[in-house]
């Protein structure tokens, strides 16, 4: 087969453009990426060979070799891992399969400085080679295949693929270094980069410097098997970067050996910044499974529940068999015990961190709270532990509060934990449904994560206090005393008979557009608001579902009117005196539309709304 010329996928083209022209100061990380990929490839082959030993034809001693060639100005990174077939070369080195890519690209601003920071966070993997190389050649033969292939590119939009008969199993990646990047041919420099970033790689990384013997330059033992006291924070950090393909600092590092009925070692990390794909619908967990130091899989759903998918790291089991297959991992009793142990450890670590005032727990919560909250209704046994870890905004103070602190602040006579859900904190703070609660000094939790809608309706209570929405009927505040001087007085209200007549008139005018019309206990300033009937879907949830085309038609809501509001009092007096007329009907519709607008809904009929508004304004201003 002759040489094939191919275009990079458009996204890769964009990415490469930035990589090639980037002023990224930390270019040496390209080597970490190459070694990391080589090590992953060896791990995969070692595991595949457990069931298919023939794949190891050509040797079972895995090794990653660095070969600088000063005369040619090239650095070659060679591994004897699983290699890539013709099609894999094209797919893996011509496209980006990484989730979060499009979001990453959309965040790029064109401002080199800002984009470089983003690149550092996203990680460009193999493509980082183009930061230092003007041309990259990959010669690869996939384990078990007879033919090898050569991939060549200058990173400017195209690459070529052609047969390479001489290829050995694995991959040899040759970087033709740009002028100015020749430092990466220097043995001392290379050794120090390997020590810094790749010392923990469990496979030997060797360096061949000119005519000298090949020398191993890393420790070549799995980091998690070393005693904690011998591991430096930098080594933990670099291992995290390798295992998580991440580029931030780990916020928390958890390294322990479980002994007893089940033996395993866990080296787990909680990132400090949110990965772009944390809300990917697959909700995959990201801890790698090893058995007796042999990599098994990075895709073992049974290892951790989805609500802990922000955790990165490795688990190395002593009890599972080396030839454990994917099927055997499902419903595996050893694995389910490991999972229970991991969940307990991670939640325990979070609890410890949450109690440390300087531990940065609020930042963790902001990044991962919405994920952790999924556990409130998915992990019944741990529900209370997770609720204890939750933090909320509330109507009291600007900071975050725990539920325990909320309960401690509850007023005499308050029998529930009050919540309100919405998209935006500032909007939520202005909700009319909060007025009565504010007036009585009753704190309300302001819930703005989409997930909140689901757990508040699924969890009945915390510390025996039920959760109750202030935007639903049935939130009864009559038993809570108002602060002195702020008591409601019946004298401020429209007289009962007038109010009843008004309510009847509004009901008649609005018909099925509302479920009911009631005098409100919760309004103090606004004239009207809408609330959901007890037990019915909240208005915010309905709106969310509708945005995803999932809700049935709009439900009629209860319109609450404020009997203390001047407008309502005036209307009530007028209806009582003069009966219902067109003006009262217009007012009823305008009040409903107003309540809808406050909820972020458009008026039911925009034309009719405008017409009524004009008519009322004309009468008010001109008549």
Ligand X SMILES: Nc1ncnc2c1ncn2[C@@H]1O[C@H](COP(=O)(O)OP(=O)(O)OP(=O)(O)O)[C@@H](O)[C@H]1O
Detail the residues annotated as belonging to a binding site for ATP: 33, 37, 79, 84, 92, 98-100, 121-126, 326
CB of 109 to ligand X, least distance (A): 21
Nearest one of 183, 173, 161, 92 to 135, comparing CA atoms = 173
Q: Between 126 and 256, whose beta carbon lies closer to ligand X?
A: 126
Paired strand residues for 519: 561
Q: Between 83 and 436, whose beta carbon lies closer to ligand X?
A: 83
CB of 445 to ligand X, least distance (A): 37
Sheet strands (E) in 385-450: 393-394, 417-421, 444-447
How many CB atoms within 10 Å of residue 336?
13
Tell me which DSSP letter residue 495 carries: P
CB of 83 to ligand X, least distance (A): 6
CB of 342 to ligand X, least distance (A): 23
Q: Between 142 and 339, whose beta carbon lies closer to ligand X?
A: 142
How far apart are alpha carbons 617 and 609 in whole angstroms? 12
How many CB atoms within 10 Å of residue 8?
22
Judge contact between 209 and 66, C-beta under 8 A: no
Q: Between 136 and 477, whose beta carbon lies closer to ligand X?
A: 136
Q: Which residue is nearest to ligand X (CB)?
A: 125
Q: Between 123 and 313, whose beta carbon lies closer to ligand X?
A: 123
CB of 169 to ligand X, least distance (A): 10
Token pair listed for 550: 């999932």
Output 459-465 pairs: Cβ under 8 A, ≥24 positions apart.
Answer: 459/376, 459/377, 459/383, 459/387, 461/417, 462/384, 462/387, 462/403, 462/407, 462/417, 463/403, 463/404, 463/407, 465/407, 465/410, 465/415, 465/416, 465/417
Residue with tokens 């401020």: 492
Q: Between 82 and 526, whose beta carbon lies closer to ligand X?
A: 82
Q: Between 298 and 374, whose beta carbon lies closer to ligand X?
A: 298
CB of 127 to ligand X, least distance (A): 6
Instruction: Give the binding site for ligand X (CB under 6 A).
Output: 33, 37-38, 41, 79, 81, 83-84, 92-93, 98, 123, 125-127, 171, 245
Q: Between 92 and 469, whose beta carbon lies closer to ligand X?
A: 92
How far apart are alpha carbons 156 and 131 in whole angstroms? 12
DSSP string, 569-611: HHHHHHHHHH---HHHHHHHHHHHHHHHHHTTPPPSSHHHHHH
How far apart are alpha carbons 216 and 367 in whole angstroms? 40
Token pair listed for 537: 């879907």
User: What residues form the annotated binding site?
Assistant: 33, 37, 79, 84, 92, 98-100, 121-126, 326
CB of 98 to ligand X, least distance (A): 6
CB of 79 to ligand X, least distance (A): 5
Q: Three-state SS for 174?
A: strand
């Amino acid at each position: 087969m002759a040489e094939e010329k191919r275009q990079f996928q458009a996204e890769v083209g964009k990415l490469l453009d930035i990589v090639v022209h980037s002023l990224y100061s930390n270019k040496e990380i390209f080597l970490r990426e190459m070694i990391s990929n080589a090590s992953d490839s060896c791990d995969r082959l070692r595991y595949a060979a457990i069931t298919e030993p023939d794949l190891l034809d050509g040797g079972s001693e895995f090794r990653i070799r660095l070969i600088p060639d000063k005369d040619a100005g090239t650095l070659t990174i060679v591994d004897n891992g699983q290699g890539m077939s013709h099609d894999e070369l094209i797919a893996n080195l011509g496209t980006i399969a990484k989730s979060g890519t499009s979001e990453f690209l959309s965040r790029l601003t064109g401002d080199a400085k800002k984009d470089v920071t983003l690149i550092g966070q996203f990680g460009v993997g193999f493509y980082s080679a183009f930061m230092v190389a003007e041309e990259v050649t990959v010669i690869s033969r996939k384990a078990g295949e007879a033919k090898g292939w050569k991939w060549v590119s200058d990173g400017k939009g195209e690459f070529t693929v052609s047969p390479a008969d001489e290829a050995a199993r694995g991959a040899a990646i040759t970087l033709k270094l740009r002028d100015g990047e020749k430092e990466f041919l220097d043995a001392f420099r290379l050794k120090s980069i390997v020590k810094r970033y790749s010392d923990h790689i469990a496979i030997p990384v060797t360096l061949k410097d000119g005519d000298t013997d090949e020398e191993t330059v890393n420790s070549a033992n799995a980091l998690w098997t070393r005693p904690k006291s011998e591991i430096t924070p930098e080594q933990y950090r670099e291992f995290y970067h390798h295992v998580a393909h991440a580029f931030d600092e780990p916020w928390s590092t958890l390294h322990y050996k479980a002994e007893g009925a089940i033996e395993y070692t866990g080296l787990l990390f909680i990132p400090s910044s949110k990965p772009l794909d944390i809300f990917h619908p697959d909700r995959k967990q990201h801890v790698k499974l090893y058995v007796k130091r042999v990599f098994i899989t990075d895709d073992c759903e049974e290892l951790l529940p989805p609500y802990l998918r922000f955790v990165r790291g490795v688990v190395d089991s002593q009890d599972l068999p080396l030839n454990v297959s994917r099927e055997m991992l499902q419903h595996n009793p050893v694995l389910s015990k490991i999972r229970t142990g991991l969940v307990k450890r991670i939640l325990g670590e979070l609890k410890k961190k949450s109690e440390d005032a300087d531990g940065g727990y609020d930042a963790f919560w902001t990044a991962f709270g919405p994920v952790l909250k999924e556990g409130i209704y998915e992990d019944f046994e741990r529900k209370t532990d997770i609720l204890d870890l939750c933090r909320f905004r509330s109507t009291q103070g600007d900071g975050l509060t725990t539920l325990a602190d909320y309960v401690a602040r509850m007023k005499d006579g308050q029998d529930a934990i009050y919540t309100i859900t919405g998209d935006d904190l500032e909007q939520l703070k202005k909700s009319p449904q909060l007025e009565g609660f504010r007036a009585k000094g009753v704190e309300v939790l302001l819930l703005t994560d989409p997930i909140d809608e689901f757990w508040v309706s699924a969890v009945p209570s915390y510390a025996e206090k039920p959760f109750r929405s202030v935007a639903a009927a049935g939130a009864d505040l009559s038993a809570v005393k108002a602060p002195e001087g702020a008591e409601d007085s019946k004298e401020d209200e429209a007289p009962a008979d007038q109010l009843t007549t008004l309510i009847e008139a509004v009901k008649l005018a609005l018909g099925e557009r509302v479920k009911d019309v009631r005098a409100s206990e919760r309004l103090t300033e606004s004239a009207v608001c809408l609330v959901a009937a007890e037990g019915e879907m909240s208005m915010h949830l309905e709106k969310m579902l509708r945005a995803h085309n999932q809700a049935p038609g709009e439900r009629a809501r209860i319109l609450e009117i404020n009997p203390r509001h001047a407008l309502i009092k005036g209307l009530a007096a007028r209806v009582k005196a003069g009966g219902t007329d067109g003006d009262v009907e217009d007012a009823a519709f305008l009040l409903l539309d107003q309540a809808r607008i406050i909820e972020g809904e458009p008026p039911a009929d925009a034309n009719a709304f405008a017409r009524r508004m004009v008519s009322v304004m004309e009468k008010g201003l001109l008549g």
